[in-house]
Amino acid sequence: MPEPIESFVSRLLALTTLEEGTAHRLPPERELGEKLGMSRGALREQLSVLESLGFLHRTQGRGTYLETPSDEFVRAYFTIARAFGYLSDAQFAESRMLLEEAIAEVAATEASDEDIAALRDDVDRMIAATRRDDHDAAFEADVAFHRRLQGMIDNPVLRLVHEGLSHVLREAIRIRRLEAVAVEPVDDDGVRRTDSVHYAVVDALAARDPEAARRAMREHFENWLSLGIPAVH
């Protein structure tokens, strides 16, 4: 029976050399197998698992390293789980809504004036693009707004989860923005509520009001429900 991967990693780290802050360089395979008391086949099998998870990187001429994985693993996990029907769009949507609310609340105490100005600029670009019927540009400005907001929180766990949810819901979000064009009225200035509701989030951050930021983000999602469009956005 293969050794549990967590136990293997614990033994492996004891034999690595820390380089460049977070990268752990592994010794050559032959030496590694001898020190771990493993056959080359068993060792390669475990290393392949770590590589598939994004924790192991091989660089020609430099060696093999254990490093922090990219977002690709969580993106792949969510995408495959969705394809199997293990996780549904409704579950992804609910998770993203709850996560975005929490992020907005924390960002109200951590965002700098420059962060807030950049968010307001994202909303300005979103509205300008929608007015000229450039819905792809409006969508990208929307994505940039939420990614920038998440980036204000110094928490790699939240970043990974947010990136995974945003990735798996990206196409659904784009389609629902297009659906909103057909059903949502515009105000006297030609602005749609799906865009302008983002200003309330920015204003709450500028006021350093965590509860108002959470409410504003909740209103952002509830606006989609009022249009009869599932709140995946």
pLDDT in tens, 107-149: 999 999 999 999 999 999 999 999 999 999 999 999 999 999 9
- For 139, the enclosing helix (H) or strand (E) is helix 135-151
Report the top-level CATH class of 5-66: mainly alpha
| pLDDT over 70 at 11, yes or no | yes
Looking at residue 233, its pLDDT comes to 45
What average pLDDT score do residues 92-116 get? 95
User: Which residues on adjacent β-strands are paired with residue 65?
Assistant: 25, 57
| pLDDT over 70 at 21, yes or no | no
- For 160, the enclosing helix (H) or strand (E) is helix 156-183
Residue 9 or residue 229, greater confidence:
9
CATH no. for 72-226: 1.20.120.530
- For 212, the enclosing helix (H) or strand (E) is helix 210-226
Over the chain, what is the mean pLDDT?
Answer: 90
pLDDT in tens, 22-46: 788 899 999 999 999 999 999 999 9
Q: Any idea where the domains of the chain sit in the sequence?
A: 5-66, 72-226
pTM, entire model: 0.82
Choose the most confident range, by mean pLDDT, from 11-20, 65-74, 189-198, 202-211: 202-211
